[in-house]
């Protein structure tokens, strides 16, 4: 550990006593845990314009990597490349678990570093293409100092996958934290504090704000002591609204000038978009809200839905890092679920070509979608191999209409709403042929 200890002692003590998330290395033989932000095909779409092959020279930092979920998932995906992954954490106990998980999997592409991420500018590490920092910056006394430290080791065209707490969805958590500070007072014993919390949780009425959220928003405390302590007894914990994140990290006067691309676990941008939050029977005023800048829409949707407990987002240099819709060279592919074009074509044609109700189980999205005139036919041709140009060419070969078949621009326009809907929930993504094989892990 660096002698210029640059960390909060209480926070370090917590993660030495209760490494988070609690993991048993023996479970590596049974399953691979997937971490949402670190799935390479999605990372590629949002951070490298879908052009990265990951085949050579890719450098990853997992800052505050804890017991290793993100590290292991990235290292597994990059196993057959020469990528280097640095797992940094100040907790020796967490590091030991992450190290053992990697050893059991015989992953040789990870270096482990026990240090504070605030020391990154002085560690002499070569710059990184991708930095994952999930659930860490909100536990620093000065999160911006942490962010600047990450930035100092990021390549100019690199990207950050960030997760920080969200204010609105954690309302009940902060009330419970305040309550437990009063109940526990100066109690020094961690076990006693955990026992007090469990005892109280067992008796609180359903009207309690934390209890109100227990069914769908808060789960960590149900798993184990590490989860309960992290959620309800943390000594250093803050949260952000959408607006605060844009002010901090975005293009404003005092921001870091980065592009923010939100992607909530399983739901993508859906909880950030008013038309997706308001569902199948939107109010008339929605049309006006949809004209507002995206930042404002995101901020309103956060308050409408109330269900965002963490903000997961990619931070990139600018908007050109996202794979563009409308370029015929790009290859569309279905992701995050075993979807195929034929099945989706049926769903999109379910109302005889008219707007239909899309009900998507995993994201919870239910909204009316206009499939356009050709949506189902285009969906049917998506196989993860053909580019849009090839799909449209095939479409024209199949064309039986009397008028001339639509050109690429007309087809892109027609398919735009279908694409935007499926892309918003991260079920339809893009890669450029430069990225090489569809799945970089093979």
The residues of the shown chain that bind ligand SAM, judged by CB under 6 A, are 7, 11, 15, 20-21, 64-66, 69-70, 89-91, 94, 116-118, 134-136, 139-140, 230
Q: In the complex, what is the shortest distance from the CB of residue 109 to ligand SAM, in angstroms, rounded to a whole number?
A: 18
Residue 381 structure tokens: 């041709």
Phi, psi of 278, deg, nearest 5: -80, -15
Q: In the complex, what is the shortest distance from the CB of residue 133 to ligand SAM, in angstroms, rounded to a whole number?
A: 7
Q: In the complex, what is the shortest distance from the CB of residue 52 to ligand SAM, in angstroms, rounded to a whole number?
A: 23
Q: What is the DSSP letter of 140?
A: S
Q: CB-wise, 91 or 261, nearer to ligand SAM?
A: 91
SS3 386: coil
Residue 363 structure tokens: 């994201």
- Return d(Cα 32, Cα 72) in angstroms, integer: 8
Buried b (16+ CB within 10 A) or exposed e, 321-348: bbbebebeebbbbbbbeebebeebbebb
Residue 248 structure tokens: 């901090």
Q: CB-wise, 134 or 387, nearer to ligand SAM?
A: 134
- Return d(Cα 277, Cα 295) in angstroms, integer: 15
Q: In the complex, what is the shortest distance from the CB of residue 102 to ligand SAM, in angstroms, rounded to a whole number?
A: 14
Q: CB-wise, 224 or 337, nearer to ligand SAM?
A: 224
Q: In the complex, what is the shortest distance from the CB of residue 270 to ligand SAM, in angstroms, rounded to a whole number?
A: 22
Q: CB-wise, 23 or 427, nearer to ligand SAM?
A: 23
Distance of CA 154 to the CA centre of its chain: 19
Is the distance from CB of 160 to CB of 195 less than 8 angstroms? no
Q: CB-wise, 218 or 334, nearer to ligand SAM?
A: 218
Cis peptide before 9 (omega within 30 of 0): no
Q: In the complex, what is the shortest distance from the CB of residue 146 to ligand SAM, in angstroms, rounded to a whole number?
A: 7
Residue sitting closest to ligand SAM (CB): 66
Q: CB-wise, 100 or 393, nearer to ligand SAM?
A: 100
Cβ neighbours for 128, distance < 8 A, ≥ 6 positions apart: 59, 60, 61, 86, 153, 154, 155, 158
- Return d(Cα 53, Cα 46) in angstroms, integer: 14
Q: CB-wise, 13 or 385, nearer to ligand SAM?
A: 13
- Interior CA angle at 110 toward 104 and 111, to 5°? 115
Q: In the complex, what is the shortest distance from the CB of residue 64 to ligand SAM, in angstroms, rounded to a whole number?
A: 3
């Amino acid at each position: 550990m660096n002698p210029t200890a640059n960390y909060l002692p209480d926070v370090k003590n917590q993660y030495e006593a209760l490494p988070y998330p609690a993991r048993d290395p023996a479970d590596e033989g049974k399953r691979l845990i997937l971490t949402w932000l670190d799935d390479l095909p999605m990372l590629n779409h949002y951070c490298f314009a879908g052009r990265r092959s990951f085949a050579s020279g890719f450098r990853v930092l997992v800052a505050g990597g804890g017991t290793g979920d993100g590290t292991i998932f990235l290292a597994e995906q990059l196993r057959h490349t020469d990528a280097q992954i640095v797992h940094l954490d100040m907790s020796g106990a967490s590091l030991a678990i992450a190290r053992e998980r990697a050893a059991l999997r015989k992953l040789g592409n990870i270096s482990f570093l026990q240090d504070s991420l605030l020391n990154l500018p002085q560690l002499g590490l070569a710059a990184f293409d991708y930095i994952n920092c999930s659930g860490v910056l909100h536990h620093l006394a000065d999160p911006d100092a942490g962010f600047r430290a990450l930035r100092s080791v990021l390549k100019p065209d690199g990207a950050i996958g960030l997760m920080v707490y969200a204010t609105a969805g954690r309302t009940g958590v902060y009330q419970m934290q305040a309550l437990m500070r009063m109940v526990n007072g100066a109690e020094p014993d961690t076990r006693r504090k955990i026992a007090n919390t469990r005892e109280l949780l067992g008796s609180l009425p359903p009207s309690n704000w934390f209890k109100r959220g227990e069914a769908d928003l808060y789960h960590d405390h149900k798993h184990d002591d590490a989860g309960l302590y992290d959620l309800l007894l943390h000594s250093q914990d803050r949260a952000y609204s959408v607006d605060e994140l844009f002010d901090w990290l975005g293009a404003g006067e005092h921001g870091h000038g980065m592009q923010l691309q939100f992607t909530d676990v399983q739901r993508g941008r859906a909880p950030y978009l008013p038309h997706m939050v308001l569902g199948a029977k939107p109010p008339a005023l929605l049309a006006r809200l949809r004209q507002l800048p995206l930042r404002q829409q995101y901020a309103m949707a956060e308050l409408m839905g109330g269900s965002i407990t963490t903000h997961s987002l990619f931070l990139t240099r600018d908007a050109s890092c996202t794979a563009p819709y409308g370029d015929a060279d790009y290859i569309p592919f279905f992701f995050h679920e075993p979807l195929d074009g034929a099945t989706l074509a049926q769903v999109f044609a379910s109302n005889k070509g008219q707007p239909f109700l899309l009900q998507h189980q995993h994201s919870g999205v239910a909204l009316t979608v206009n499939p356009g005139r050709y949506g189902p036919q285009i969906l049917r041709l998506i196989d993860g191999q053909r580019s849009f140009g090839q799909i449209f060419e095939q479409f024209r070969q199949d064309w039986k209409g009397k008028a001339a078949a639509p050109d690429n621009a007309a087809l892109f326009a027609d398919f735009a709403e279908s694409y935007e809907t499926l892309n918003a929930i991260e079920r339809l993504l893009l890669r450029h042929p430069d990225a090489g094989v569809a799945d970089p892990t093979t």
